[in-house]
Amino acid sequence: MVKYSRYRLDLAFGALAHPIRRGILARLASGETTVAELARPHKVSAPAISKHLRILEQAGLMSRRKRGRERVCRIEAERMKEAQGWIEGQRALWNRRLDALEKYLKENP
Amino acid sequence: MVKYSRYRLDLAFGALAHPIRRGILARLASGETTVAELARPHKVSAPAISKHLRILEQAGLMSRRKRGRERVCRIEAERMKEAQGWIEGQRALWNRRLDALEKYLKENP
DNA sequence: ACTATATTTAACCATATGGTTAAATATAGT
DNA sequence: ACTATATTTAACCATATGGTTAAATATAGT
């Protein structure tokens, strides 16, 4: 039972939690391309890829636009940055605490 | 149907995809503490918290040790670093590409 | 030994995820 | 108009997630 609407970071991290979706993002990081091209390296059906793309799109990590009968996909950098930012913030806290501890131990041998 | 064993990054990102778990990690970033203390800010049952902790632990983002009848939880920095590293790598690619494009546009007005 | 506290496990339920095949939709190309 | 190609939607199934309450387990404290 989901009680709260799903926040942006939930969707972003959730989208990053599957190897095929990370593979798709990795491919997109080197330039936009079509759905067929994104699907090629993975051995799942076209509908499966379509679902992964929807999850990435809903998470705001990627966008699609039509080009003839193809769809061209493009990474969206902002949400990736937000996800990274969250982790970074935690690690900053954590490291600051460890530094303080280290300093304390040095000063109180 | 999950066909491949779940990789470390799958578990790590999956674990980060819930606000309660991110809240728990945020608390842990400022120092280790007990399960009861971690549960306090969240209005779900104790078993729900216990499940979240298990997910965090299986993802390698946190560890638990016994202290009397309590369990003391502690963040595990390494896996956090890996998750951040993955995103960072993608963004590096992406930004390099954008920089190259910008340069190209500047040189070919 | 008895009782209270901390935490997990069991059993249950609803929804989300991750896959499939078959069918629908839209455009390209003749 | 006809056919091929690209992609999505529908219907289905199994497993994972996220919650609940009730019970079990383990230790603390008298």
Is B8 near chain A, with CB under 8 Å? no
For residues A65 and B2, which has the higher predicted lDDT (pLDDT)?
A65
Within 7 Å: CB of B106 and strand C? Answer: no
- Cα–chain center distance at B81: 9
Confidence of residue B3 (pLDDT cuts 50, 70, 90): very low
Residues with Cβ < 8 Å from A104, sequence gap 6 or more? none
Q: What is the pLDDT of residues A48-57, one digit of tens each?
A: 999 999 999 9
Which pLDDT belongs to residue B5? 47
Q: Are A32 and A81 in contact (CB under 8 A)?
A: no
Q: What is the pLDDT of residues B16-70, one digit of tens each?
A: 999 999 999 999 999 999 999 999 999 999 999 999 999 999 999 999 999 999 9
Rounded, the Å distance between the CA of B35 and C1' of C4 is 18
Which pLDDT belongs to residue B32? 95
Residue ranges and CATH numbers for the domains of chain B are: 8-107 (1.10.10.10)
Nucleotides of C under 7 A from a protein CB: 4-11, 13-23, 26-28
